[in-house]
Structure 1
């Protein structure tokens, strides 16, 4: 696969529902009530129950790993959490759209910037993956 600066990866939209948060809590062991209790989220000044940061982060990198021929070519990944992903208690949940663009290619590596938008808000900052190029 040839990777050039400016290449845009196919976008990915992921919907988070409360049931996804419960499943993630069970898998991760993170049962913080801000991820399931409206009352506790409000008590801490949050706008509602929020998705786990690591769930959002893991979902974001899928825009890259789904695009790669071999997901093992992902060699580095990091994000900054800027806004919470609020997940309402309804059947619709919240959709987050992830897009990505190649920013730099050098020395056998490509740096890819990832954007995560929930509603009209950017929810991750400085989300960047580094992949091995063949």
Structure 2
């Protein structure tokens, strides 16, 4: 049962990641463009949109109450840093490292301000980690 739950959790995280990458915001909601194509003739029969709520990013969420776009972006960077599939190589070490980066980022922001710089700092740390874990490719 635990393995099945872990698999479902990983699948949900991957689906959310894909939706964040390809979803189109319409009326403030993430939407997926769906096309129905006849496989025999390769003719598009219909196109429409389907809503998909990514956990933690639903309309009316607390993130919508952050008026400053730079601060909202910093919160998104924190969320990105703390999102790591449970089955990722070195999960325990990586999530602990990421938590440390988040702590340093937030402390720096609280002490110095400049949310843009701190969001970029955190994303740079994530890119560096990605380069290390993929053998130099980002």
Q: Which has the higher strand share?
A: 1
Report if TM-score (shorter chain) is over 0.5.
no
Higher helix share: 2
TM category (shorter chain) comes to under 0.3
Q: TM-score, structure 1 length as denominator?
A: 0.26
User: Which has the higher relative contact order, 1 or 2, with Cα contacts under 8 A spaced 6 or more apart?
Assistant: 1
TM-score, scaled relative to structure 2: 0.25
